[in-house]
Amino acid sequence: MAIRQAARRAVAAGVDSTEIHGAHGFLIHQFHSAFTNKRTDQHGQDLTLFGTEVVKALKTEIPADIPLIMRISAVQYVKNGYKLPESFKTAETYHKAGIDIFHISSGGEGPIEKNGSKPENDEACPVPFTAAFKNHFPKTPVIAVGLLSDFHVANAVIANQTADLVTVGRGML
């Protein structure tokens, strides 16, 4: 798997954490989503098999003191997309395979359902999903993201124990 080499390069470069993308319609998300995974082979019968293989391969390359994070779409916004109960099961499988921390996002798999449940892109909009993950996996650190550019809001998310970490994209830019 080429991703093994990416992990080796990252470790050699001296990173102190690693993250793989299992959200937003990227490859791992495409595999564990029934919306996109229409395969009839074993990787279609077991939607999390591909992601599990990736995680297990990475865990053999990344030292135990460097966390392996996965970004995950907690819910999908396509019609009949998966919701929290399914993503908890998916995350449980990846956690057993070796994911140390979940970075909670949402959607990105395809067209948004009309009149669906997608929240507006407002400050801290995906944080309820982070809270749901934290509640479901109390011993597994979770990361909140989504317009947490205001220090006070970001700090409250951690102080309220809704998340263990926050990431800030546009605020940094």
Residues that bind ligand FMN (CB under 6 A): 24, 105, 145-148, 168-171
The CB-nearest residue to ligand FMN is 169
What's the burial of 42, exposed, middle or buried (CB within 10 Å: 0-12/13-18/19+)? Answer: exposed
Residue 7 burial (CB count, 10 A): 23
Shortest distance (Å) from residue 71 CB to ligand FMN: 7
CB 146 within 8 A of CB 105: yes
Token pair for 127: 């944080």
46/156 with CB nearer ligand FMN: 156
19/46 with CB nearer ligand FMN: 19
Residues sharing a CB contact under 8 Å with residue 147, sequence separation 6 or more, in sequence order: 121, 122, 123, 124, 125, 170
Shortest distance (Å) from residue 63 CB to ligand FMN: 26
Q: At what angle do helices 49-59 and 2-13 cross, to 10 degrees?
A: 40
Shortest distance (Å) from residue 41 CB to ligand FMN: 27
Shortest distance (Å) from residue 101 CB to ligand FMN: 16
* Neighbouring C-alpha atoms within 13 Å toward the C-beta of 150: 7
Shortest distance (Å) from residue 141 CB to ligand FMN: 18
Bridge partners (DSSP) of residue 143 are 103, 165
142/147 with CB nearer ligand FMN: 147
46/125 with CB nearer ligand FMN: 125
83/171 with CB nearer ligand FMN: 171
